[in-house]
Amino acid sequence: MDCKSSLKKLSYYKTGGPYEQLYAPSDIHELKQALEAITAAKTPFFLLGAGTNSLVMDTPYEGAVISFHKMTQITMLDHGIRCRAGVSNTLIAETAHQHSLAGAAWMNYLPGQIGATVRMNARCYGGEISHIVTGIKSFTPRGQLKEYRIKTHDRSVFRAYKDTIFMNNNEVIAEVELSLQRGNADDIRSKMDFCRSDRESKSQFTFPSCGCVFKNDYSPEVSISSGMLLEHAGAKGLIRDHCRVSADHANFIFNTNDASSREILELSMDMRDLVWDEFGVWLEYEMELLGTVPPDLKSRLEEKRVAKYKTSRLDELRAIFKGKQGSK
């Protein structure tokens, strides 16, 4: 357990202030012990995986942080992989390829660790983590072990894209089992290379970021990606102090020069306002905030607005989107 340091070194976004306690368990037993100690002391805490979907606040945090960066054990099964919560998505893809196992290639260069990937039911490049997970071990905050066996099309754990029971039951994912199929190593590598090159072509790794800041709205009234809404609202290249919106992907904010969490959060709110003014759509955050949000930012962050869809503008954008799809 470490104390009173900064989280910048562990945060993918390179933000984060001091904290009271840091637990970095290396196995399931140490994770259980950390949770029991935190609960016994009634200490507030948050979880920090790779931080690839999070913004860690710079404000001092009077609580504990559990980091998974040491929980990296990975074990081969007959037709799959068992991995601790801190194993990176890319390592899973590479390990599956080494054993000619198909089903995980889409995870190559997907920033993050498997625990968070399962927690949020991540999806990209035609893959979704719920399609390959067959087992999960988790702990309650009191350290009670829970085990889940996942059946095909079972919605009791994975309710939908970016929606699982772990997002609101306070359980901490410790270990995951993935079921994969025998495949052709060359085909698997080809898919992995595509995923990597596509992300690199969009400059996703040029500067620290959290990936997409806002969720997509799949309601019939919208059904346009948040990135496209932001782009056509004029967000691309928007700058605030030491951070800016990507010139390639309008739903990415880059930390270009040691930006503060406040600067990043304020820029994201400017982006949300642009989309509201242009389309009458109030975007919801995909980026998670960890730590203590200053009161003046919290009130603005938690603001909710009833949609006032500008139908003609949204229709125009959907037509552009369909045109792009048709030209592929």
Please give the CATH architecture assigned to the domain spanning 226-326: Alpha-Beta Complex (3.90)
pLDDT at position 109, please?
Answer: 97
pLDDT at position 218, please?
Answer: 87
* Residues in contact with 236: Cβ distance below 8 Å, sequence separation at least 6, in sequence order: 230, 245, 246, 247, 250
Structure tokens at 302: 């938690």
**Spans of all domains in the chain:** 1-71, 74-201, 226-326
pLDDT at position 2, please?
Answer: 54
- CB atoms under 10 Å from CB of 271, counted, come to 26
Q: Of 3.30.420.10, 3.20.20.450, 3.40.190.10, 3.30.465.10, which CATH number belongs to 74-201?
A: 3.30.465.10
pLDDT at position 155, please?
Answer: 86
Per-residue pLDDT of the chain (328 residues; tens, 9 = 90+): 555 578 998 999 999 999 999 999 999 999 999 999 999 999 999 999 999 999 999 999 999 999 999 999 999 999 999 999 999 999 999 999 999 999 999 999 999 999 999 999 999 999 999 999 999 999 999 999 999 999 877 789 999 888 899 999 999 999 999 999 999 999 999 999 999 999 999 889 999 999 999 999 989 999 999 999 999 999 998 999 999 999 999 999 999 999 999 999 999 999 999 999 999 999 999 999 999 999 999 999 999 999 999 999 999 999 987 777 655 4
pLDDT at position 23, please?
Answer: 96
Structure tokens at 171: 């359980």
CA distance readout (Å), 68 to 28, 244, 312: 10, 29, 47
Domain 1-71 is found in CATH 3.30.43.10: yes
pLDDT at position 13, please?
Answer: 97
Length of the chain counted residue by residue: 328
**If DSSP codes are grouped into helix, strand and coil, which group holds residue 191?**
helix
Structure tokens at 140: 């309650």
pLDDT at position 325, please?
Answer: 60
Edge-to-edge strands of the sheet including 61-67?
19-23, 61-67, 45-48
pLDDT at position 326, please?
Answer: 56
